[in-house]
A and B are shown apart, each in its own frame.
Chain A
Amino acid sequence: MKEIAENRLAPPAPANAPPGTPCVLGPTLHFKGELYGEEDLEFQGQLEGQIEHTRSLSIGKEGGVKGNIRAKFVIIEGRVEGDVYATESVSIRQTAKVIGNIFAPRVGIADGAHFSGRIDMNHKGVAAKVDTPLSEPQAERLLAAG
């Protein structure tokens, strides 16, 4: 978690920054469709559709997402309408407004945040399922466990 926090606080990268700096998508960007990513991303724009991400994804204060989100870490400071799946953690900050369900092993909701939905912390299979489908015995065990 500490790493991410530091990442997020890093000063904005200059335009000609070397590769490896976190990428930022600004507030006037409007996406309609599917977004995939494999690098830390700070999203301040609006997106209608889906996000599939393999690393840290932060929805900034001005950011808004209508649709489902999948990532490793998800940090939400803006508005999200849809389900959020994270393989590691979901952090809902004070300024966030989230309507939807959250599936992640670790979830934090800050005081002051607006959240309505369900939280499931035992849903390990979900995010991993994208790459590796559960074997039958695994699935049965999960089902049996409820």
Chain B
Amino acid sequence: MSSPNNSSERMSVFGPTLRFKGELKAQEDIKIEGRIEGTIHHQQRVLVGQKGEVVATVNAAVIDVDGRVQGDMSAKKSIKVSQSAVVRGNLRAPSVSITEGANFNGGVTMESNAGPQGPSTPVVASSR
């Protein structure tokens, strides 16, 4: 099931024929349908579409994977690996979900603060 993305009318789409090699930084939601090699430093939501192919270390607030990812992913909020996804790498986020049917090889760490790589934004202490 593809979730409705109504809220993100300004979402950037990295189209299926686009290929990028290098470092990507962004502060807005992005949907990746193309191929990215390198690193992604993101402040918002990253969606790797079904045609998307990412060979990179990914840092973001929310990561949704419908496509292929090879590399470690670290999210401040959550990582979702959907049924069509093929993931090879380690996941680190306070909330990780993997849908049955997904192809996943790697480790999962559920921690509230994405420790080593995220000094850029202050950790919101959600004490309860």
Category for how many chain A residues contact B = 20 to 34
Q: Is the CB of B9 within 8 A of A12?
A: yes
Q: Hey, which chain B residues are within 8 Å of A29, CB to CB?
A: 12, 24-26, 28, 30
B38, CB-defined interface residue at 8 Å: yes
Residue from A13, A25, A27 with most neighbouring chain B CB atoms (10 Å): A25
Given contacts A15-B9, A15-B31, contact A28 B26 (CB under 8 A): yes
Number of interface residues of B (CB under 8 A): 31
Given contacts A12-B9, A15-B8, contact A23 B18 (CB under 8 A): yes
Q: Is the CB of A35 within 8 A of B19?
A: yes
A75–chain B nearest beta-carbon distance, Å:
17
CB under 8 Å from chain B, chain A span 10-25:
12-17, 19, 21, 23-25
Q: Is the CB of B16 within 8 A of A39?
A: yes
| Residues of chain B having any CB pair with chain A under 8 Å | 2, 4-6, 8-28, 30-31, 33-34, 38, 43
Taking A32-B24, A49-B22 as known contacts, 5 extra A-B pairs with beta carbons closer than 8 A to each other, sorted by chain A number, are A17-B13, A25-B14, A31-B22, A33-B21, A38-B18
